Amino acid sequence: MKPVINEVTGKTDLNFNGKLISIGTTVLANSNGKEFVVGTIEFVSQQGEKVQRSAQIYKASLEKGMEAGRSYLCTASKGDNGEVYIRASHLVVAERASADDFGSLFDEVHAPAERGDEA
């Protein structure tokens, strides 16, 4: 999980990868009038356990195409009431490259020793 500063609230949010398990069908609206549905995501908690939790999925993200079984970027925010709210975006989590993908290209390269004047 990666901490990020929420530019609107000034508080710390957490970005993480969540696997979308299900997408609700009832359209709701938040206090700003943004429409969303509630979905279920799965992620690994800080304790190392796989957990499933509810998440808001904004209608705009759904319209860009989201499907159960894929992993998406999620953001957790702690409300003033102490509760944690999770939002799942349409941004797909890409598989990260590994050192094996590049073989020996990352092996340490030493610069040739400087030649001094021997004259």
> What CATH number is associated with residue 76?
2.40.50.140
- Quickly list H helices, 1-119: 59-63
Q: Which residues contact 101 (CB under 8 A, 6 or more apart)?
A: none
Whether 114 is in a domain gets the answer: no
Whether 52 is in a domain gets the answer: yes
Whether 67 is in a domain gets the answer: yes
Quickly count: other Cβ atoms within 10 Å of residue 74's Cβ. 25
State how far the Cα of 51 lies from the Cα of 46, in Å rounded to an integer: 10
Whether 105 is in a domain gets the answer: no
Single-letter code of the amino acid located at 1: M
Among the residue ranges 39-43, 89-93, 100-104, 107-111, the one predicted with the least confidence is 107-111
Give the pLDDT confidence score for residue 100 in this predicted structure: 76
pLDDT of residue 48 exceeding 70, the answer is yes
Domain around 63: 2-95
Average pLDDT over residues 51-68: 94
Q: What is the pLDDT of residues 9-18, one digit of tens each?
A: 888 889 999 9
pLDDT of residue 118 exceeding 70, the answer is no
Average pLDDT over residues 102-107: 71
On whether the CB atoms of residues 53 and 38 are closer than 8 A, the answer is no
Whether 106 is in a domain gets the answer: no
Q: How many domains does the chain have?
A: 1
Whether 25 is in a domain gets the answer: yes
Percent of the chain with pLDDT over 70: 82
pTM beyond cutoff 0.75: no
